[in-house]
Chain A
Amino acid sequence: MLASIGQFLLILSLTTAVALMLLPMIGYYKNNDSLMQTGRPLSYLLFVLLLTTFLLLVSLFVLQDFSVTYVWQHSSLALPLRYRITATWGAHEGSVLMWITVQALWIAAVARYSRSLSLSQISRVLSVLGIIATGFIAFVLFASNPFEITNPAPLDGQDLNPLLQDFGMIIHPPLLYFGYVGMSVAFSLAVAALIGGQIDEKWIRWSRRWTNLAWAFLTIGIILGSWWAYYELGWGGWWFWDPVENASFLPWLAGTALIHVQAVSERKNAFRGWTVLLAIITFSLCVLGTFLVRSGSITSVHSFAADPFRGIFILVLLGIYAGGALTLYALRVNQLKSKDPINLESKETLLLGNSLVFITATFTILLGTLFPMIFEAMGKKISVGSPYFGLMFFLIMIPMAVLLPLGAQMKWHKDKMNTAIKALMPHFFIAALLTLLAYYLFDGLNLRATAGVFGGFWIASTSIMQIIKFPGKPNAGFIGMSVAHLGVAVFLFGMSMTEHKDVEKDILLKPGQTTQVAGYDFTFNGVHQVQIENYQAQQGSILVAKAGKTIVELHPQKRFYPKQQQPMTEADIYPGFTEDIYVSLGEQINDKGDWAVRIYIKPFIRWMWFGGLMMMAGAVIALFSKRSLRLEQQQVDQVMKERLKLS
């Protein structure tokens, strides 16, 4: 019953999305105000419809309606309520429904907070967003319908994958989707501008804030994914260069290039075409990412059951969106020709350089991710190992780290490169000195770690200097930038340390046995059986001590979910400011109670995620830039004046 209502609501949503795609655009071409004015109400309606549909699916999970195939496959009577709710987006159908619900929220937000745009502008933007919504709602309806019915209804469900029965799973996908889908706003602004054949400062300023917000969500989504993989997958890794991880990282890289170029193009008539192209690339990579995750066409630990039809469907959508936008770009780009001259020695040049570095990184990683598919089409099976990505990314990020402080230091419009370099020079030596100190403090570092630590100190030292020396009261834009850049420094330091100074040991332990790892004593006190909620677990007890003083007792678990007949490793972690102690159970080796135990020491791993949080915070702070708020108010006034004149 509820499922049929859901089905019906989906069809209504599709109709609404089609109307949103067509009516305002027709209104724009016919210069018909009443048609253009349908854009906003249709956007709100679309959001209400999809939110209701989504909540309906949630309630089907809460009510345990196993006549719905999707609920039956991903829930069970024994599943605790909180995981029944999150199971809604735990698998393919529900997560695509969430995708479009989040998109509808963005569309409604754009409709609501766009007073500074003229009617013809906003109707084009909403219409382009409608095109995207239409494609993905059709995808849900025809290729991944969560409301399909199983007849007769089974008595119990098949349960949720144990890996997904976790807090990280509750928040990681929604936030990542907010970022992914948020980039569709930047995309539709770019396409709408191309349709109109003109682009101005306020247009870019407006789109810049939306891009910042989407980028912030994308950043936190990726960080949460990394954190979740670290503690939940039981391998203690934080990034695997897996195709699905790359799928979220590619739009982040392109988005980083985009927000930096927007800083230039909102100030002067320059790099306009490049801004538009980057917006198109970023969102296309989001759709490509959805394709990679959802088609299962790439070997990945993330790829769940594959369905070729779904893959082809998303590929067609990608072809329409990216192909259409790029064709439009090719036709209209001449009208966006930049008019303001750019001095070679200026902040603008360095920001352009930044975008080139990030786009190079994007395409290097894209190639490594797609090559196995291309080879497969030629009948050869290959994969690209993570050392490729690690090395390439490291090399490409060297110019980024070196030039970042210079870019922040240089003045807009015209500056002397020599003066800027002179101001930064002392910090080069400070960073070198600190790196030397770290080198001895941590008993030597390898080449990459030394470079990374130096990069971190170099960026931190110069950023702090720039904050101190800022003339007058710093604005939100500058604070946001500095916080984000300090985040880069913290991230670089954390990553270098954890990558090169970690200790990993797989070891066989007898009950009562003590082993020493990195100066800590680990005493294994055996394993006993516990029963918790919907699983049984063999819970180990490992006492961690240093120099005879007990630090903590860790309880890693080997869980067993009877419903799915599936074991799962749950690590136990003693988190710390400078290092994590990470312990997980392998398997019982013999009937004497000996276990394989994995012991990791992960120095500064939290710094990495904290650095990421700082980048996100920086992007959010920049939203409150008074400069753009003031200008926006001026625009609103202007639009109001025009309207008064017309009436």
Chain B
Amino acid sequence: MTPTRKKRLIMILMVALGVGIAAAIFLTAFKDNMMYFKSPTEVAAKDYPVNRSFRLGGMVKENSMRRIPDSLKVQFEVTDFADSVLVEYEGILPDLFREGQGVVTIGTMQNEGLFVAEEVLAKHDENYMPPEAAAALEAAKPKYNNQQEESE
């Protein structure tokens, strides 16, 4: 093998190795940080990742918010009008967090009934609804309508 060829071969091997390592790191980091979005209906059907963070979105149910006295801990329900999930959060809620408004929370299911949120995101301005929350409400509409008919 001539020196030039050898040099080239080494270069190619180095590049291949670099690309391989980069791809491996990329995939691992990506897999670890990919977060699913779930609606209350999906959570009720137990379709959610266990022991892993995911995003839960919908509306904050009217009259569902209550504060644990003398603490920053709050509980509220996130609903898509078909099902709702109890959410617990400790910390300061965003300015535009309100009952009857869209919300996206990030956290894990602690047990089958309680979602512990590490982060709560509300909308940014009056006209805006988080797209994920809007989609969740849209998806639950048929089911919600059925329930209404049944109860009538």
Q: Identify which of residues 73-119 in chain B touch chain A, using a CB-to-CB cut-off of 8 Å.
A: 90-93, 95-96, 104
Q: A392 and B35: CB pair below 8 A?
A: no
Q: Which of B26, B92, B96, B131 contacts A296 (CB 8 A)?
A: B131
State the CA gap A590–B71 with chains docked (Å).
Answer: 10
- Output the least CB separation between A556 and chain B (Å): 12
Q: A568 and B95: CB pair below 8 A?
A: yes
Q: Which of A299, A306, A567, A594 has the most CB of B within 10 A?
A: A299
Interface of A is mostly: mixed
State the CA gap A577–B72 with chains docked (Å).
Answer: 32
Given known pairs A302-B124, A506-B92, A508-B72, the reply for A387 and B33 (CB within 8 Å) is yes
Q: A392 and B126: CB pair below 8 A?
A: no
Residue of B nearest to A161 (CB): B125
Contact code string A503-521 (vs B, CB < 8 Å = 1, else 0): 0001110000000000000
Q: A381 and B37: CB pair below 8 A?
A: yes
Q: Which residues of B contact A306 (CB under 8 A)?
A: 131
Q: A596 and B72: CB pair below 8 A?
A: yes
Q: Which residues of A contact B26 (CB under 8 A)?
A: 364, 367, 392
State the CA gap A388–B36 with chains docked (Å).
Answer: 14
Contact code string A153-188 (vs B, CB < 8 Å = 1, else 0): 000000001010000000000000000000000000
Q: B128 and A384: CB pair below 8 A?
A: no
Q: Which residues of A contact B135 (CB under 8 A)?
A: 381
Q: B131 and A299: CB pair below 8 A?
A: yes
Q: Which of A163, A304, A367 contacts B127 (CB 8 A)?
A: A304
Q: A382 and B37: CB pair below 8 A?
A: yes
Answer yes or no: B149 CB below 8 A from chain A CBs.
no
Answer yes or no: A146 CB below 8 A from chain B CBs.
no
Q: A384 and B91: CB pair below 8 A?
A: no
Q: A567 and B37: CB pair below 8 A?
A: no
Q: Which of A380, A388, A565, A596 contacts B30 (CB 8 A)?
A: A388
Q: Which residues of B contact A305 (CB under 8 A)?
A: 125, 127-128
Q: Which residues of A contact B67 (CB under 8 A)?
A: 589
- Output the least CB separation between A534 and chain B (Å): 16
Q: A303 and B95: CB pair below 8 A?
A: no
Q: Which of A360, A388, A569 contacts B95 (CB 8 A)?
A: A569
Q: A303 and B128: CB pair below 8 A?
A: yes
- Output the least CB separation between A34 and chain B (Å): 51
Q: Which of B30, B33, B92, B128 contacts A586 (CB 8 A)?
A: B92
Answer yes or no: A564 CB below 8 A from chain B CBs.
yes
Given known pairs A586-B72, A587-B93, A596-B72, the reply for A380 and B22 (CB within 8 Å) is no
Answer yes or no: B25 CB below 8 A from chain A CBs.
yes
- Output the least CB separation between A213 and chain B (Å): 32
Answer yes or no: A391 CB below 8 A from chain B CBs.
yes
Q: Which of B22, B55, B70, B95 has the most CB of A within 10 A?
A: B95
- Output the least CB separation between B23 and chain A (Å): 11
Residue of B nearest to A585 (CB): B92
Given known pairs A388-B33, A567-B95, the reply for A163 and B124 (CB within 8 Å) is yes
Residue of A nearest to B42 (CB): A381
Chain B count of residues within 8 A CB distance of the other chain: 35
Q: Which of A301, A384, A587, A590 contacts B124 (CB 8 A)?
A: A301
State the CA gap A589–B90 with chains docked (Å).
Answer: 13
Contact code string A358-395 (vs B, CB < 8 Å = 1, else 0): 00100010011001000000001111111110011001
- Output the least CB separation between B52 and chain A (Å): 11
Answer yes or no: A130 CB below 8 A from chain B CBs.
no
Q: Which residues of B contact A163 (CB under 8 A)?
A: 124-125
Given known pairs A384-B30, A387-B32, A508-B71, the reply for A564 and B124 (CB within 8 Å) is no
Given known pairs A161-B125, A364-B26, A392-B29, the reply for A384 and B35 (CB within 8 Å) is yes
Residue of A nearest to B73 (CB): A508
State the CA gap A133–B78 with chains docked (Å).
Answer: 46
Q: Which residues of B contact A385 (CB under 8 A)?
A: 33-35, 53
State the CA gap A306–B131 with chains docked (Å).
Answer: 9
Answer yes or no: A234 CB below 8 A from chain B CBs.
yes
Q: Which residues of A contact B37 (CB under 8 A)?
A: 381-383
State the CA gap A507–B135 with chains docked (Å).
Answer: 34
Q: Which residues of B contact A388 (CB under 8 A)?
A: 29-30, 32-34
Q: Which of B29, B36, B95 contacts A234 (CB 8 A)?
A: B95
Answer yes or no: B121 CB below 8 A from chain A CBs.
yes
State the CA gap A327–B121 with chains docked (Å).
Answer: 42
Residue of B nearest to A302 (CB): B124
State the CA gap A296–B124 with chains docked (Å).
Answer: 13
Q: A382 and B35: CB pair below 8 A?
A: yes
Q: Which residues of A contact B104 (CB under 8 A)?
A: 299
Q: A391 and B29: CB pair below 8 A?
A: yes
Residue of B nearest to A344 (CB): B7
Q: Which residues of B contact A529 (CB under 8 A)?
A: none
- Output the least CB separation between A11 and chain B (Å): 29
Q: Which residues of B contact A507 (CB under 8 A)?
A: 72
- Output the least CB separation between A373 and chain B (Å): 11
Q: Identify which of residues 548-575 in chain A touch chain B, using a CB-to-CB cut-off of 8 Å.
A: 564-569
Q: Which residues of B contact A386 (CB under 8 A)?
A: 33
Q: Which of A299, A384, A568, A594 contacts B33 (CB 8 A)?
A: A384
Answer yes or no: A598 CB below 8 A from chain B CBs.
yes
Q: Which of B35, B69, B126 contacts A383 (CB 8 A)?
A: B35
Q: Identify which of residues 244-263 in chain A touch chain B, using a CB-to-CB cut-off of 8 Å.
A: none
Q: A506 and B91: CB pair below 8 A?
A: yes
State the CA gap A234–B122 with chains docked (Å).
Answer: 14
Q: A303 and B36: CB pair below 8 A?
A: no
Q: B72 and A506: CB pair below 8 A?
A: yes
- Output the least CB separation between A503 and chain B (Å): 15
- Output the least CB separation between B140 and chain A (Å): 14
State the CA gap A392–B126 with chains docked (Å).
Answer: 35
- Output the least CB separation between B27 and chain A (Å): 11
- Output the least CB separation between A520 and chain B (Å): 19
Q: Which of B92, B128, B135 has the most CB of A within 10 A?
A: B92
Q: Which residues of B contact A371 (CB under 8 A)?
A: 30, 34
Contact code string A585-625 (vs B, CB < 8 Å = 1, else 0): 01101100010101000000000000000000000000000
State the 8 A-B residue pairs at the shortest beta-carbon distance, nearest first: A586-B92, A381-B37, A388-B33, A385-B33, A506-B91, A161-B125, A567-B95, A305-B127
List 21 interface pairs A-B (beta carbons < 8 Å), by A numbering.
A161-B124, A163-B124, A301-B121, A302-B124, A303-B124, A303-B131, A304-B128, A364-B26, A383-B34, A383-B35, A385-B34, A388-B29, A391-B29, A507-B72, A508-B70, A508-B72, A568-B95, A569-B95, A589-B67, A590-B70, A594-B70
Interface residues of B (CB under 8 A from A): 22, 25-26, 29-30, 32-37, 53, 55, 67, 69-72, 90-93, 95-96, 104, 121, 124-128, 130-132, 135
Besides A383-B35, A567-B96, 15 other CB < 8 A contacts? Answer: A234-B95, A304-B125, A368-B30, A381-B37, A383-B37, A392-B26, A506-B90, A566-B125, A567-B95, A569-B95, A589-B72, A594-B70, A596-B72, A596-B92, A598-B92
